[in-house]
């Protein structure tokens, strides 16, 4: 008995009869949806899944991609955004996004911006080292941040600061009374 050469285009069925690829496809027609399914999954991944990952990995303050930002809790993200706003000397953004409504009623926007700008004029750069979520207690979240502050007089200070945050109108805001006093 002479054996036929094996070919990728021929497949053996259960009765050891040689079938052509065309016969195989006609018998297993239900497999023809696989390339279409693969195409749909690929399109979904490229246009839906990847943008969601990259957009959620962008800092809210400056929209820069920060892969560690993707894995942070919302209170941690708020502290990171706050520190980057401080680094950008953006007192107006801090007033609008991180001050509680009750604190905004106590101080005018102009006075807050002037006072914070006077403080930030002495700061050259803020470098965030680590931000860690500590938990939720008494209607507040607690986050600890370690960061370096580079001053204009060339001094460098390392800080470990505990931030207290409350959620207000679906945004995490810093409780300045408890955090900075």
Say if residues 68 and 79 touch (Cβ distance below 8 Å). no
Domain that holds residue 17: 10-56
Nearest Cα neighbor of 72 from 128, 139, 149 is: 128
Count, in order, helices (H) and strands (E) of the chain. Answer: 9, 6
Distance between CA atoms of residues 85 and 102, nearest Å: 21
Judge contact between 145 and 68, C-beta under 8 A. Answer: no
CB atoms within 10 A of CB 86: 22
Considering only 9-13, 27-31, 101-105, 131-135, which range has the smallest mean pLDDT? 9-13
Q: What is the CATH number of the domain that holds 148?
A: 3.10.450.100
- Overall average pLDDT of the 122-134 stretch: 94
- Clarify whether residues 36 and 79 are in a common domain: no
Taking alpha carbons only, the member of 7, 34, 36 closest to residue 22 is 7
Choose among 142, 104, 162: nearest CA to 94. 104
Q: How many CA atoms lie within 13 A of 117 on its CB side?
A: 10
pLDDT over 90 (residue 106): yes
Residue 110 lies in a domain: yes
Please check the confidence at residue 46 and state whether its pLDDT lies above 90: no
Same-domain pairing of 87 and 46? no
Please check whether residue 1 lies inside any domain of the structure: no
167 and 106 assigned to the same domain: yes
Domain identity same for 137 and 166 = yes
Q: How far is CA 34 from CA 9, 28, 30, 31, 154, in A?
A: 19, 12, 9, 6, 63
User: What does the DSSP 8-state code read for residue 48?
Assistant: I
- Classify strands 18-20 and 10-12 as parallel, antiparallel or unpaired: antiparallel
Question: Do 101 and 141 sit in the same domain of this protein?
Answer: yes
Q: Between residues 181 and 154, which one has the greater pLDDT? A: 154
Are residues 167 and 122 part of one domain? yes
Q: Is 123 a residue whose pLDDT tops 90?
A: yes
Is 31 within a domain?
A: yes
Same domain, 27 and 112: no
pTM of the predicted model as reported, rounded to 2 decimal places: 0.67
Please say if the pLDDT value at position 48 is more than 80.
no
pLDDT surpasses 90 at 179 = no
Task: Quick: pLDDT tens for 2-23.
Answer: 555 555 445 454 444 545 555 6
* CA-to-CA dists, residue 79 to 5, 12, 69, angstroms: 69, 64, 11
Nearest of 19, 26, 172, 20 to residue 97 by alpha carbon? 172
What's the pLDDT at 16? 47
Tens-digit pLDDT profile for residues 129-149: 999 999 999 899 999 999 999
pLDDT at 8 (0 to 100): 46
Joined tokens for residue 50: 């990847």
Asked, for residue 141, whether it belongs to a domain, the answer is yes
């Amino acid at each position: 008995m002479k054996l036929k050469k094996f070919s990728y285009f021929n497949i053996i069925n259960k009765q050891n009869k040689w079938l052509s690829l065309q016969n195989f496809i006609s018998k297993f027609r239900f497999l023809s949806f696989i390339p279409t399914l693969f195409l749909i999954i690929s399109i979904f991944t490229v246009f839906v899944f990847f943008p969601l990952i990259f957009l959620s990995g962008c800092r809210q303050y400056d929209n820069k991609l920060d892969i560690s930002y993707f894995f942070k809790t919302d209170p941690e993200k708020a502290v990171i955004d706050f520190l980057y706003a401080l680094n950008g000397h953006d007192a107006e953004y801090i007033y609008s996004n991180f001050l509680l409504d009750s604190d905004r009623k106590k101080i005018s926007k102009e006075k807050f911006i002037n006072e914070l700008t006077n403080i930030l004029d002495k700061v050259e750069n803020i470098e965030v080292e680590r931000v860690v979520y500590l938990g939720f207690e008494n209607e507040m979240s607690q986050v600890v941040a370690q960061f370096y502050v580079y001053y204009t007089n060339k001094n460098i200070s390392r800080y470990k600061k505990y931030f207290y945050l409350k959620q207000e109108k679906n945004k995490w805001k810093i409780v300045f009374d408890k955090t900075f006093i």
